[in-house]
Structure formats: C-alpha cells, structure tokens
C-alpha cells in the first residue's frame, strides 16, 4: 500500500496542527513592527514585500494542499492564484516578480483575512479522520516553506529600510549583551580523508535537494573554528582588498568595478568610523562579531587575501557533524534568540549552526541520483541548480526547527542581502 495514502493518527494530526499554528503565529508576529506601508516595500527584484510573503505562504497551503485535499474548499480569491504564485510555471505564468511592490490591492487587511481563511481551512482539514500521510508531508513542506519566507521577510525589510535616508529600525532597541562578547583567535579543526556520507534520506523532513544521501570521498582538510570577524575583514579592506584584482575571481572583479562596492553591503563610513545598518537601525560595527552581508565574491577574495580558501559544502557538512556539540541547536544564535544579528563567537566550542549562512566553494548542483518530483512541487528546488553557490548552517534569523546540518541554501555569487558570512578552510599539509 502507498504509505502516502495512510491515514494520520489523531496525535499526528494534533501535533501537525500545533506546529502549523506556531509557525503561522511566528510569521504574523514578525510582521507586527511593520505598518501597511512598510509591508508593501520592494526595494529590488530579488526581494519581495512583506505583504507578498504573508500572502504567498498562504497561497502555498491553498495551492498545494487545500485545493486538492479539502472537499468543498473555496478559494479565497481566484485572482490570488496568479498574484501570489512565485515561480511555479506549471501553475500558469506568475505575476511579474519585479512588480510585486505595486500590488497595493489586496491590502494588508485582506492579506491577513486570507491568512485566516487558510488557517480555518487547514484546521478543518486536520480535523478530518481520513487526513493522509501525503497531506502531512505537504503540510510539513508548507511549514518549512513558510519558515524560509520568515527569514526572507526579515532580510527583505532590512534591505528596503536601508534605502530610506530616515534609517528606520525594525527593532525598537538593539539586541542584548550577547553582542558584547570578544572574539578569540580561531583554531583549525582537522578532518581526515575518507569516503563520507553526505546528504539526508529517510523519514525526517528534509528538502529534496538534500537527497539522496551519497558517498563522497574527501581529502584531509582543516576548517576554522569560527567565522571571520568584522575586525579581520576591515584589515582586508585597509590592506586594499577591494582594489587588488589579483585577489578576486574574474567575475568578482567585474562585479566590484560595476557595483563600486568597497565594503560589506550595509557598512557606511561616518564621522567616528564604520557603521552598519541593521534590523536595529544604524549601529557602530561590532568588530568582534562575524562580518555579515558579504557576497560570495567578497568571501572568496577575503579567503585569497588570507591565504586560505572556502570549504566545499561537503567539507562543511562533514566538519559540522564531527564537531557538533550536544547543545548545538539550543546554543546557536538562531531566530528564537531574538538577536536579529550575528553575535561574537566564544572560544568555547566551534559552532557551525546559526549566526550567519556560510558561503561554501560549492556550486549548487543536484546530488547524484537527484530527481525533482514531476508535479508542480518539483519546481521548488531543482530548477535553480545552476549559477548559484551553496551556503550552509543557517543564520541568526533562521528558526531552530528549520535548520539541519544537511541543509543546502543557495544564492547567486553577487548577492549579499542575506545574513551571509565567511568561514575559512584549507588543505592539510
């Protein structure tokens, strides 16, 4: 029998509902500090308005679950099928991405009504006795999808606010004293050569791009025990890092010249030194904290300057497993810590999770044996496996129950508006 068609138990449904409610409530809460006008901002084609995130995550449940699995489900608004489709060509041509910020209608109120409409329907669905394992799988995908958009919601509003000369702050006050730690010199963690298993299979949720798990032969390598700090990055800058083409990839150098980038994305030099625009507004750069909002090109150039390199995603995954700590997730600077920015790393133990997404030297490609599913959900990940680089580990705004060591994030090498950082690696000698 198809395991997907099995009915869920009462407990399973209750647990699912509980998770659903927690995730949805979190999303709502993240939008709390924002006005209707804030929620409409789209400051570049890569980013989306908060309102759009709120609607699109609901659209996902409606489109992939409710339409098919809840009898007599009534679409909230048939037009939304087009408006809030992100990129699923199987479902018709999506609304023009760079124009998402031009949708003053539906207004925020309607979007929240849409969310509640979907919530009620999901509750009904999970109350049904014949709710199947397939629904559970799609629900879990939908919740992980919504968690991804929680992170995007924050990175996108940060970018949008950074354009405004009034420098609006998302947070009323800067984060607590976790920020005041001092960075210690990094140590090198060694990993011996071997054929390792990479990726993730099995029942626990993971995205399709993390599977199939497979063998990967690795040469011996070493990897830094912490992320590169702002202080270290400033040394690179002061050493003329942005003016020396030999440190850069060819495309990276072209990007520096075209973008005229001379510092990380949100840095500004003002009287009194370097400041960084953050979710808590403009703040002095914390020299002990990890450098953030750098592009892959910057990460790679920094590594060249430092005489090292970035880890591959396979090295990263193996090291993160080998050096994981019992409290990895609970200790990590993830969304639940409510720091909303990277914090200095203590000397205690290496921490691969949280704080910042770490650029790897690996291009985002399918794992051996990867097949995207044939239906519309198959467009989720697979079609992006070109021209992007893999990032690992989650960031200070990633929910704790969303991240995994096998988790593969991916962005284009020039992009820096995510919470991205740098961990160095090297060959063993």
Which of 27, 31, 86, 230 binds Fe ion (CB under 5 A)? It is 86
By CB under 8 A, tell whether 208 contacts its own copies.
no
Site membership for its own copies, residue 219 (CB under 8 A): yes
The yes or no reply on residue 339 touching Fe ion (CB under 5 A) is no
For residue 256, what are the contacts with CB-CB under 8 A and spacing of at least 6? 242, 248, 297
Q: Which two tokens stand for residue 218?
A: 């690795």
d(C-alpha 25, C-alpha 12), whole Å: 20
Phi, psi of 265 (to 5 degrees): -45, -45
Site for its own copies in 147-166 (CB under 8 A): 160, 163-166
Report how far residue 219's alpha carbon sits from residue 192's, in angstroms, rounded to the nearest whole number. 7
* Binder among 46, 151, 210, 300 for its own copies (CB under 8 A): 300
Q: Rule CB under 8 A: is residue 38 a binding residue for its own copies? A: yes
Residues found in the chain: 429
Binding flag, residue 288, its own copies (CB under 8 A): no
Nearest Cα neighbor of 424 from 350, 328, 333, 344 is 350
CB-based contacts of 28, cutoff 8 Å, min separation 6: 112, 115
| Cβ at position 99, least distance to Fe ion in Å | 17
Among 7, 28, 83, 189, binds its own copies (CB under 8 A): 83
**With binding defined as CB under 8 A, does residue 281 bind its own copies?**
no
Residue from 101, 264, 311, 354 binding its own copies (CB under 8 A): 101
- Could you tell me which of 130, 167, 145, 179 has the C-alpha nearest to residue 280? 167
Instruction: Choose which of 248, 267, 340, 419 interacts with its own copies (CB under 8 A).
Output: 248
Q: Give me the residues paired with residue 410 across strands.
A: 390
Nearest 5°: CA angle at 404, between 216 and 63?
110
> For its own copies, what does the binding mask look like between residues 104 and 143, x meaning CB under 8 A?
xxxxx-----------------------------------
Continuous segment of H or E residues that includes residue 307: none
33 near its own copies, rule: CB under 8 A: no
**Rounded Cα gap, residues 142 and 200, in angstroms:** 19
Nearer of residues 393 and 413 to its own copies, judged by Cβ: 413
Query: Considering CB distances under 5 to 8 angstroms, the limit depending on partner class, which of Fe ion, its own copies, none binds residue 406?
Result: none
- Residue 272 CA to its chain's centroid (Å): 33
- Using only the alpha carbons of the chain, give its radius of gyration: 22
What number of chain residues touch its own copies (CB under 8 A)?
Answer: 64
Single residue of 216, 278, 295, 328 touching its own copies by CB under 8 A? 216
Q: In terms of C-beta density within 10 A (0-12 exposed, 13-18 middle, 19 or more buried), how is residue 200 classed?
A: buried
CB of 252 or CB of 394, closer to its own copies: 252
Would you tell me which residues interact with Fe ion (CB under 5 A)? 86
Would you tell me which residues interact with its own copies (CB under 8 A)? 35-38, 40-41, 43, 51, 79, 82-83, 87, 89-90, 95, 99, 101-108, 160, 163-166, 168, 195, 214-219, 245-246, 248-253, 296-297, 300, 312, 361-363, 365-366, 368-369, 379, 383-387, 413, 427
């Amino acid at each position: 029998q198809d395991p997907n068609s099995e009915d869920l138990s009462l407990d399973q449904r209750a647990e699912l509902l509980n998770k659903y409610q927690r995730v949805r409530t979190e999303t709502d809460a993240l939008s709390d500090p924002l006005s209707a006008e804030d929620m409409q901002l789209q400051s570049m084609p890569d980013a989306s308005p908060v309102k759009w995130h709120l609607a699109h995550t609901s659209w996902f449940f409606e489109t992939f679950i409710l339409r098919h699995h809840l009898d007599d489900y009534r679409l909230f608004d048939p037009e939304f099928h087009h408006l809030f489709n992100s990129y699923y060509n199987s479902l018709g041509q999506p609304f023009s991405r760079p124009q998402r910020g031009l949708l003053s209608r539906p207004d925020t109120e309607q979007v929240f009504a849409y969310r509640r409409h979907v919530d009620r329907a999901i509750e009904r669905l999970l109350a049904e006795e014949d709710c199947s394992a397939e629904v559970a799988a799609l629900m879990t995908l939908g919740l992980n999808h919504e968690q991804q958009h929680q992170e995007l919601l924050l990175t996108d509003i940060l970018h949008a606010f950074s354009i405004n000369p009034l420098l609006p702050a998302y947070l009323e006050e800067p984060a607590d004293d976790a920020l005041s730690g001092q960075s210690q010199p990094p140590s090198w963690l060694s990993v011996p050569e071997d054929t390792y298993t990479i990726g993730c299979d099995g029942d626990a949720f993971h995205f399709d791009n993390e599977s199939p798990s497979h063998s990967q032969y690795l040469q011996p390598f070493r990897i830094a025990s912490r992320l590169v700090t702002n202080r270290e990055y400033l040394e690179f800058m002061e050493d003329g890092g942005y003016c020396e083409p030999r440190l850069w990839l060819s495309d990276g150098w072209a990007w520096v010249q075209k973008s005229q980038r001379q510092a990380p994305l949100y840095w500004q030099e003002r009287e009194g030194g370097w400041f960084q625009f953050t979710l808590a507004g403009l703040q002095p750069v914390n020299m002990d904290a990890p450098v953030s909002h750098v592009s892959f090109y910057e990460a790679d150039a920094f590594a060249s300057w430092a005489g090292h390199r970035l880890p591959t995603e396979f090295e990263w995954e193996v090291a993160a497993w080998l050096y994981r700590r019992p409290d990895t997730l609970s200790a990590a600077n993830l969304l639940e810590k409510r720091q909303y920015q990277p914090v200095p790393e203590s000397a205690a133990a290496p921490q691969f999770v949280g704080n910042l997404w770490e650029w790897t030297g690996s291009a985002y490609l399918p794992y051996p044996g990867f097949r995207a599913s044939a239906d519309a959900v198959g467009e989720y990940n697979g079609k992006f496996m070109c021209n992007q680089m893999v990032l690992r580990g989650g960031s200070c705004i990633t929910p704790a129950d969303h991240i995994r060591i096998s988790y593969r994030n991916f962005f284009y090498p020039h992009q820096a508006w995510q919470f991205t950082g740098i961990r160095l690696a090297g060959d063993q000698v």
